[in-house]
Amino acid sequence: MFFCVCVYGDSSAVSGYIEAVKRLACEILDLMAEGLGVHDPSLLSNMIRDVDSDSMFRLNRYPPSSFHTPPPPHRATTTTEIGFGEHTDPQMLTILRSNDVGGLQICVAGGTWVPVTPDPTAFCINVGDVLQAMTNGRFMSVRHRALTNGFKYRMSMAFFGAPPPHAWLSVPPELVTPHRPLLYRPFNWAEYKKASYSLRLGDSRLQLFLK
């Protein structure tokens, strides 16, 4: 069993944190756009800066596997379980931070799951589906999942930078060339969210928007 709480910013500690990671997300997006040679480097981050941005903050708490099924007395370890099933984050960019308990894994080419070393002093940055679409596939949304630990609680907090519901997710013209034609048809975040709700967590949503 896994618990998650979505927070829309109320206590000053939480809203201070959200403001700081939002700024970080915008800086990263500006650097990404600059690196891709996009003429207006704030084109991506403006989506998150917009007052109507649908960004969200989530706290995840994964009780240890032994919380529900204690290991038999002769065994020192329990098996790990899936705490958060495999998925890609639908938004643009995720700024994730966890306690010192491992569990996050990312899926690399060939379908191998690679553990991310837990570091409570570091941020893990995930590219989400919308950024994949807006960069015409230059940055790829990362498939990931979280396992529970045998004995310890894993806690994580994630800021999901998202566009306003009705903004068109347009691809900068510099990223569309004869060699790299447009991958996805134009859509907005409201449409994408609606499509996501009709699918299962692990389904590949972007496929529905291929041109």
Q: Point out the residues that are catalytic.
A: 154
- 144 binding ligand AKG? (CB under 6 A): yes
Query: DSSP states of 86-115 as a string?
Result: EE--SSSEEEEEE-S---EEEEEGGGEEEE
Which span sits near ligand AKG by CB under 6 A: 67-75, 96-104, 135-143, 199-207? 96-104
- Choosing from 29, 48, 146, 169, the residue that interacts with ligand AKG (CB under 6 A) is 146
The alpha carbon dihedral of 41, 46, 48, 49 has a sign of positive
Q: Which is nearer to ligand AKG, 107 or 195 (CB)?
A: 107
**Residues 6+ away with beta carbon under 8 Å from 34:** 41
Q: Classify residue 88 by burial, with Cβ atoms within 10 Å: 0-12, 13-18, 19+.
A: buried
- 104 binding ligand AKG? (CB under 6 A): yes
> Left if phi > 0, otherwise alpha if psi is -120 to 50, otherwise beta: which for 103?
left
- 129 binding Fe ion? (CB under 5 A): no
**Rounded to 5°, angle at Cα 73 from 82 and 115:** 25
57 contact, one of Fe ion, ligand AKG, none, CB 5-8 Å limit per kind: none
Residue 124 C-beta: closest distance to ligand AKG, Å: 7
Residue 84 C-beta: closest distance to ligand AKG, Å: 5
Quick note: the x/- pattern for Fe ion over 65-94, rule CB under 5 A, is ------------------------x-----
Interface ranges with Fe ion (CB under 5 A): 89
